[in-house]
């Protein structure tokens, strides 16, 4: 099946007819060698072909129930054709089909029947005003689906980035699905991950790669709406400044020393291979660098002419063929805990581990198992062997305690879903980790002074003092975080249809 296609040109006559063009396209699809970067009608007239999904066009839209002043924020750059108060017409300057679908979903939220129902509620207007003033408000009387309705409408109308915090991954996935139905696009979900505290021959870092990409997206403003569980948000991670200091940016036309570049990739946790097949690998063949960054869905091929980056693009790891050209690419660290990101590099981490060993040996009853673990890890670091259990030294590598909450923009609206369950989930996570902590300490897996991996619910809430927040609950809670108490309490009488 060819799918949707568009042909344009001078039409029939002495030039190829549409049927001849279709035949040529089918032949090209059957034999890949006939596919070219451009199609020619005649030597003097070159027509570049483009995928329908990426082509941008101007669109004329009509709206009802949406203020004309909000259209540039909702639909992007364009021109207001007319404004009759209750309806308006707008010409979108340039958008893809996917962009238009997202715009339609936002307009449905703002001007649809569901939005009109919300706008009649004084509590909704009070919440909107609180968001604009960055005040903290508690709302009771809303079930989950109604809560998602409120949140999506507030996001669409306020045009602010948003963070939605849920009690666990299951609740986060359900909120993600409901928000996708209201917003027209699926907001990303920040996954939780298990700490790697034991050495292993191989470690799956799929969740870490996803987290690294989302953390970078939050920091750069590319991720506008994020759903996260309490555990995913409260876990210690790489500080924002350290992440930006450890990443590598490639730009076409810029000059790079390949030896220095590959050394930086090794320090960021990448492993050198003969063929790139998975995330975190790179290969160098002459002036061609292949690398698979957690920031991208496909590996990148960078072609150098001397020290200058001449061309770059994504390629398919199965066929090794380029699929898309690039002007710029970001190479993120491959794990949340990378020894070389220590303030003084791997050597600084070795000094810290040696200091721990010295303190243990001065004790009356030193933990010999811990000393053995520390000495073994020092040997690995000095020998250039990957340290798969680097998480156990996170407090040394990143002296500053940071979580994903520190990546959230100060302009973001923060929504806490089911405040009581969030507090219970945080307490349960801390208790579960505390139960396993004894075995880590006795086995010498973890040093006692390096056990701070999660922040509490109250500590997490305190990080959003400048943002303000909205607590959504079915029933009013008697206790809120001291660091972020609500300034106002609202009660909504809602019926789920």
Helix 144-158 × helix 169-183 angle, to 10°: 50
What pLDDT, on a 0 to 100 scale, did the predictor assign at position 146? 84
Instruction: Give φ, ψ of 288 to 5 degrees.
Output: -115, 120
Convert the pLDDT of each residue in 156-195 to its tens digit: 888 889 999 999 999 999 999 999 888 878 999 999 999 9
Convert the pLDDT of each residue in 84-115 to its tens digit: 776 788 888 888 888 888 787 777 666 555 56
What pLDDT, on a 0 to 100 scale, did the predictor assign at position 1? 46
CB 209 within 8 A of CB 181: no
Residue segments in the chain with a per-residue pLDDT below the cut of 50: 1, 12-14, 41, 44, 46-47, 496-497
Are β-strands 469-473 and 413-417 bridged in parallel, bridged antiparallel, or unpaired?
parallel
Instruction: Give φ, ψ of 475 to 5 degrees.
Output: -125, 145
pTM for the full predicted model: 0.77
Are β-strands 45-48 and 57-64 bridged in parallel, bridged antiparallel, or unpaired?
unpaired
Helix (H) or strand (E) holding 462: helix 457-462
What pLDDT, on a 0 to 100 scale, did the predictor assign at position 35? 52
d(CA 403, CA 426): 14
What pLDDT, on a 0 to 100 scale, did the predictor assign at position 247? 93
Q: Where are the alpha helices (DSSP H) in 68-121?
A: 71-75, 97-111, 113-119
What pLDDT, on a 0 to 100 scale, did the predictor assign at position 341? 93
What pLDDT, on a 0 to 100 scale, did the predictor assign at position 15? 55
CB 129 within 8 A of CB 490: no
């Amino acid at each position: 099946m060819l799918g949707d296609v568009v042909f344009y040109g001078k039409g029939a006559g002495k030039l190829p007819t549409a049927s001849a063009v279709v035949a040529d396209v089918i032949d090209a699809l059957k034999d890949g060698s006939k596919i070219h970067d451009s199609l020619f009608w005649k030597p003097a007239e070159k027509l570049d072909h483009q995928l329908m999904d990426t082509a941008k066009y101007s669109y004329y839209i009509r709206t009802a129930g949406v203020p004309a002043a909000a259209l540039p924020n909702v639909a992007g750059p364009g021109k207001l054709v007319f404004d009759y108060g209750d309806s308006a017409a707008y010409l979108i300057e340039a958008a893809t089909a996917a962009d238009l679908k997202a715009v339609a979903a936002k307009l449905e939220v703002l001007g649809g029947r569901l939005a009109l129902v919300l706008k009649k509620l004084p509590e909704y207007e009070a919440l909107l005003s609180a968001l604009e003033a960055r005040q903290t408000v508690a709302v009771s009387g809303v079930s989950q689906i109604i809560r998602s309705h409120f949140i999506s409408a507030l996001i669409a109308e306020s045009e602010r980035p948003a963070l939605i915090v849920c009690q666990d991954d299951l609740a986060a996935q359900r909120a993600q699905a409901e928000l996708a139905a209201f917003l027209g696009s699926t907001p990303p979900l920040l996954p939780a991950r298990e700490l790697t505290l034991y050495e292993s021959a191989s470690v799956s870092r799929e969740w870490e790669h996803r987290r690294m990409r989302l953390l970078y997206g939050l920091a750069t403003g590319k991720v506008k709406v994020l759903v996260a569980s309490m555990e995913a948000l409260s876990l210690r991670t790489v500080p924002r400044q350290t992440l930006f200091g450890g990443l590598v940016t490639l730009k076409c036309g810029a000059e790079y020393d390949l030896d220095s570049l590959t050394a930086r990739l090794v320090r960021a946790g990448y492993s050198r291979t003969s063929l790139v097949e998975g995330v975190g690998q790179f290969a160098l063949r002459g002036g061609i660098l292949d690398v698979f960054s957690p920031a991208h869905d496909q590996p990148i091929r960078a072609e150098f002419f001397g020290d200058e980056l001449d061309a770059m693009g994504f390629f398919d790891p199965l066929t090794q063929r380029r699929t898309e050209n690039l002007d710029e690419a970001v190479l993120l660290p491959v794990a949340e805990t990378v020894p070389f990101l220590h303030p003084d590099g791997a050597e600084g981490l070795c000094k810290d581990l040696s200091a721990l060993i010295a303190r243990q040996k001065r004790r009356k009853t030193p933990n010999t198992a811990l000393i053995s673990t520390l000495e073994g890890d020092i040997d690995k670091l000095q020998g250039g062997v990957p340290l798969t259990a680097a998480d156990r030294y996170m407090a040394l590598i990143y002296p500053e305690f940071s979580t994903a909450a520190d990546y959230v923009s100060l302009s973001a609206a923060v929504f806490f879903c089911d405040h009581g369950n969030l507090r219970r989930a945080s307490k349960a996570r801390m208790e579960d980790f505390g139960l396993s902590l004894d075995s880590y300490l006795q086995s010498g897996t973890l040093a006692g002074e390096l056990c701070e991996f999660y922040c509490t619910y109250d500590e997490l809430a305190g990080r959003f003092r400048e943002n303000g927040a909205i607590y959504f609950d079915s029933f009013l809670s008697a206790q809120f975080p001291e660091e972020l108490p609500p300034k106002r309490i609202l009660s909504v009488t809602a019926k789920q249809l």
